[in-house]
Every structure is written in structure tokens, then in C-alpha cells.
Amino acid sequence: MVARTPCLLPLILAAISCGGEQRSGPQVELQTELGNIRIELHEKEAPITTANFPLRG
């Protein structure tokens, strides 16, 4: 379990640094053994990455 923690550090730091700005875009939830992570997709800034996620209307 300790070996997995460093892998999450960049994701946690990114989430903290983006916390101030409120934007609304499509969201997906990534389910892991350690808990769920909600990801907001930015279609305008990252259209190719957003297209990789199956979105349900």
C-alpha cells in the first residue's frame, strides 16, 4: 500500500492547485481501491483526451 501513495501525489497536488476556479464541464468518476476520484473534462482545452471517456447523457 505504501508503494501506491507516491503515484497519487501528483494527482492530489493538481486537484489542490485547481480548486479555486469553478468551471462546469462533463464529469466522470474513476473508481479505485483507495476511493473514487471525480474528474472534470475540459472539451475545449483537451478535446482528444475528453473523447477517450465514454460520456452518458
Does residue 54 belong to any structural domain of this protein?
Answer: yes
Number of domains the chain contains = 1
Cell of 9: 501525489
- Quickly tell me which residue has 469553478 as its cell: 22
Q: What is the pLDDT of residues 1-57, one digit of tens each?
A: 455 555 666 666 666 555 556 667 788 888 999 999 998 988 899 989 888 887 665
Q: What is the pLDDT of residue 34?
A: 92
Does residue 46 belong to any structural domain of this protein?
Answer: yes
Q: What is the pLDDT of residue 24?
A: 77
Does residue 34 belong to any structural domain of this protein?
Answer: yes
Does residue 48 belong to any structural domain of this protein?
Answer: yes
Does residue 11 belong to any structural domain of this protein?
Answer: no
- Quickly tell me which residue has 501528483 as its cell: 10
Q: Is 9 in a helix, a strand, or coil?
A: helix
Q: What is the pLDDT of residue 57?
A: 55
Are 34 and 8 in contact by the 8 Å Cβ rule? The answer is yes
Range of the domain at 49: 26-57
